[in-house]
Amino acid sequence: MTGRAVVLAAVILAFLSAAVRAEKIVLGLSAIEVGITATFDGSDILVFGAIKRDQPVPEGSSLDVIVAVTGPLTPVIMRKKARRFGIWLNSEAALIDAAPSFHAIATTGHLPDILRDTEDLRHSITIPRAIRSIGNDVTDSTAFTDALIRIRRSEGLYTLLEGAVDLTEQTLFRTRIALPANLIEGRYDARIFLVRDGEVIDVYEAPITVRKVGVERWLFNLARDRPLPYGLLTLSFAVLLGWLASAVFQRLRR
């Protein structure tokens, strides 16, 4: 390839990249922090935004939006039970290196139709792609991953809401992501993907902090940092409750 051809190819690639970057996401969140209290029974986060363009909307191509909210990654040990001599015992175990504690996806359409598999592999958008499980010596590690997904879906921790993102005039979008009551503390990442013809052309990320607040936070810190006073406080509280229950029972007997 001649020098002129190399320069021409570079110019064409730069032009195509600029065209792809001509659409950008401008995002808003209804909350950037979620507080967990004793009465916390879940919450909703409104994700809304707009698409900023430097050029008119391209004709003859489809635009889609994917919203993914992902909780902290943690290792998980999955065990398989088998019946041995009339009792159920753990027969096999697999370590899943990193699995999201929470993963919710909302889309404008059927996910396999709007997102190419190579883009999913690159950005780890779908639930199976967000789970990392490598180095297992078990016969079928996929079965353990599928079991984890099934369990966390039943607990409301893994959700896929196809068609839940409203996209108006290929410019404004909004959706709601439900956070269940059984969240863990940590940083949650809200990622919004702008997809055209199956390819991700822009990504916007925003953090959401989930933490205990109020008395729950104080007790959590006390148990972690000062276990002896926490143990004495718990014991005293248990003795007090026992005494109160005994006093009420004695009064009722009279």
Report whether 36 contacts 211 (CB < 8 A). yes
Tens-place pLDDT, residues 196-251: 999 999 999 988 888 766 555 555 555 666 677 667 667 777 777 777 777 777 77
Question: How far apart are alpha carbons 17 and 158 in whole angstroms?
Answer: 34
Share of the chain above pLDDT 70, in %: 73
CATH topology of domain 21-212: Immunoglobulin-like (2.60.40)
All residues at 6 or more sequence positions from 201 whose CB lies less than 8 Å from its CB, including other chains: 20, 21, 23, 194, 195
Tens-place pLDDT, residues 10-27: 334 434 444 445 788 887
pTM of the predicted protein model: 0.72
- Whether the per-residue pLDDT at 9 is higher than 50: the answer is no
Report whether 71 contacts 179 (CB < 8 A). no
